[in-house]
A and B are shown apart, each in its own frame.
Chain A
């Protein structure tokens, strides 16, 4: 592999070192998928343990303390370490391909983002082995999570793990905003962007605005816990309700950060598998922007019972209800994309179509919750648990499963097995509704959430049993998916460029998986659904926007890994009061930053004669 960039050679790695040093968005996508998938299994195992404990009344399989640890780690893991990374996996794997770019805007940052997320997640989960597990809920309300009532190290793992992982998310948001603004192929104007790219663009903007709030909150809580500050300590003039505000100012946009990419995935799949243009594209874009905007205006609906008074409760009720309008627009646009189409049922399209009614059910309970006086009854009960699992599992996880089955050939060059895929869909879909539908009624019958047990004879027994059986079914569905991954792995890489034959956007114009440089020649985009448009005009490939030439590539680097290890070490140092270790960790990180700043890295070039070799991810 000749590389002539500015007269020096760039070292290329293979094997494990290749994965540790890669800055290629496609490989980083796969890393995100592996790490996110692993944490998804961990969080799922925690969920199954929770459901086993609640299968029967007065059960004592785990005690109250362990149960609180399980729910805290389940929530935190699923949101920050499973759902977000799996979205980042799809973002990384697909966005540059959809916009006709050769990589993201900042490949080095992309790698740094992955490794900080990974080491943050590892740190958080090491709490199980340290015997001090976060136990104050994924919301970690103070004072329960404060130094006075949480005297162990448990919540320290939460604040420090999430801060390190949060750096990765923030970097990802900045990176993808910059990528989508700056690196679109010629002719790919904003109103021609595929819906998934739009969704990721808006999501990235939301990350940039929402995650700093979480960081500030976590830093304040860390100062309270480690350095005896008084941000949230009532006895010393602090305010516990402040934490609730900070958390939800981040936390509510976060749920839209999770769901908007799923909306994007569904839009792509519904359109592809009904062989139809997305119905009402511009209103879909507008609705997405509106949801994102309103998403920042409604955080206090998580706090209707905190005692903010009728004016705040009334305003936040109405603002929350308004979100139903753009969401409704999206639902009906999907239905009318299917209307008149030619719908092909694959695992991907089944998850996407299953998403629509499921998400509607989660959405309508959202409107019910928006009505503050009624929320006084729903709040912190199993009704809420049912609601947010309908939108997060029935919305986001269905979306991720749909997206993975859809883009798997583009990521790995192999189509997932459809029979196993359909087994995954039906067990997961039926298991999901079985688990969570009954939980609405449990909540209305007076069962609070986050209870480790319940007395018999209160009308909760049967529904809890049904719910647990449903959870087992979801577990079987997940196992079927994992088996599918391994079965597919053993098959040859034989997926064509456009394996679903009805692909509409640019990722389907290049080989599966894409070559290292994605596009040998940057394509010229002549309209919305760029590839579909060319296909309909009888063309076999995109019109290139440039001649074949030398392609500039970023060089791999081990620094992101070391910077993240530095933060990981520093985190432990701070937690266990060993300042030397803490400073040592920070020195590693800062040292890497100095090296990165002082030594210019010009990357390397892949010359046309090497391009034909098709270096692949």
Chain B
């Protein structure tokens, strides 16, 4: 009974909670994750069978053959049994065959290359310590931290890392793929349902590895087209000329808005409309402006090891930080 208990607890947990729709691999929201989930179910089924058989034999043996007090008989010394040996060699082989065939089918199925497919959206993912860069090569636009995808097309990813190894993972949509420095990997995903899905970095990449989250937002095809158009539109700079200059000199040396600025830090076009600041400060828990203010004042306090200097280092006064935060919080794209 003691040994059955963990199994039962496991089954109860499995049945009762499949986790969040936007996060759990047990609650697949796209065909890739669905295929993987089907394979998981098949393997859990087969393996559950094995576990049950072993547990039953084990419990039976422990009850039936325990030594009674004062029992000093010597049991029969059995050398072995060829038939039994063959049975427990062949049955596992058959079970593995049942699992092996769909495994091979999916290994090749999921490796399908959509990089030359005109109908697929090509996205180049570059992982940085500790943020994600998404470049839409066909559209000539780049964004950071929030991946926007249409629901009607296959998304073909080209993955690489700018510094150390990371791993790109959106559990509800599909399994992960590592981003290696110096070489590129490919994979495809599909997002048939609209919604925002949580993405994570799955390879230890430094002190803020745990905080390297991103979002994947699936939108309707029309909405996606509007987003692309809005991204390509001229940047909206701060209205105040002095602030605009400060913003350009202090922020755009690394960041970019629209066509202005650099690309060594996340693109900020439409940053006010994103779910989070820095991938980890949720804008529904605190006002966007507040989150931006916290982040710009001291990024190190939010994400240890982040490259961005604090406002003290960049020489921004608290007033300027507030104005920049307000400007960025209001910078939303209409799509």
Contacts and interface: CB of A to CB of B under 8 A. Distances in A.
Interface stretch (A196-204, A373-381, A412-420, A485-493): A373-381
Given A305-B177, A324-B92, A364 B19 contact: no
Contacts of B24: 444-446, 459
A335 B85 contact: no
Contacts of A344: 67
Nearest to A381: B202
Interface residues on A, range: 35 or more
B210 A451 contact: yes
Interface string A277-292: 1011111000000000
A33 B247 CA distance: 63
A375 B78 CA distance: 41
Nearest to A309: B111
A160 to B, nearest CB: 21
Interface stretch (A21-29, A315-323, A550-558): A315-323
Contacts of B75: 274-276, 340-342
Contact of A458 (B23, B96, B304): B23
A314 B84 contact: no
A184 B206 CA distance: 51
B100 A318 contact: yes
Interface stretch (A76-84, A94-102, A434-442, A559-567): A434-442
B236 interface: no
B178 interface: yes
Given A317-B104, A329-B85, A445-B19, A368 B203 contact: no
Interface in A362-390: 364-365, 367-368, 370-377, 379-381
B80 A281 contact: yes
Contacts of A240: 165, 180-182
Contact of B25 (A343, A433, A444, A463): A444
Contacts of A279: 78-81
Contacts, number: 300
Interface in B177-203: 177-178, 180-183, 185-186, 198, 200-203
Interface stretch (B58-66, B119-127, B221-229, B248-256): B58-66
B241 interface: no
B47 A377 contact: no
Interface of B: 3, 6, 9-10, 13-14, 17, 19-20, 23-26, 33, 35-37, 39-40, 43-44, 46-48, 50-51, 54-55, 57-58, 61-62, 65-67, 71, 73-81, 84-85, 88-89, 92-93, 96, 99-100, 103-104, 106-111, 159, 163-165, 167, 169, 171-172, 174-178, 180-183, 185-186, 198, 200-211, 280, 282, 304-305
Interface of A: 63-65, 67-68, 135-137, 141, 143-144, 149, 234-235, 239-241, 274-277, 279-283, 305-307, 309-310, 313-314, 317-318, 321-322, 324-325, 328-329, 331-333, 335-336, 338-345, 353, 356-357, 360-361, 364-365, 367-368, 370-377, 379-381, 433, 437-438, 440-441, 444-446, 448-455, 458-459, 463, 536
What 6 A-B pairs have minimum CB-CB distances, sorted nearest first?
Answer: A376-B175, A234-B182, A64-B207, A451-B210, A307-B185, A364-B47
